[in-house]
Amino acid sequence: WSRRWFVLNEKTGKLGYTKKQEERNFRGTITLEECTIEEIPEDEVEKSKSSKDKKPNGPDSKGPGLVFKITCKVPYKTVLKAHNAIVLKAESVVDKNEWINKLQKVIQARGGQVGSVSMRQSLSEGSLDKM
């Protein structure tokens, strides 16, 4: 895992990130109204990593997961740079739940839907950005 710092702008519906806490310019931003938030099991993430990258998460690595994923509702569209999904790991279950709740609230407030969206629905929800 690589540590990143995220800033949620509830007014614009964007999630920005930096590599260092003291950085003032975002390395990238995610437009949340185009995204879905989904909790995923931590072992699903570990399967995709090689064995040398695996690190235990505690004495028995069991219990509630800390991982969630941000994906784009539109098939084949990227969420951030060249990534079609961003997987995040919170430091605690409380932090994870707080982040997921805030992100979902922003998505709903901006007209998006929470959870998986079928292709038919996502294609019929097209809208133009207004500046």
Long-range contacts: 97-101, Cβ < 8 Å, 24+?
Answer: 99/6, 99/68, 100/37, 100/39, 100/68
Please give the pLDDT value at position 48.
61
Residue 72's identity, in one-letter code, is C
16 or 110: whose pLDDT is higher? Answer: 16
Residue 67's identity, in one-letter code, is V
Q: Write down the mean pLDDT value for the chain.
A: 78
pLDDT > 90 fraction of the chain, expressed in percent and rounded:
51
Structure tokens at 98: 């707080």
Query: Is the pLDDT assigned to residue 128 strictly greater than 60?
Result: no
17 or 77: whose pLDDT is higher? Answer: 17
Domain ranges of the chain: 34-123
Give dist(CA 89, CA 41) in Å, integer: 11
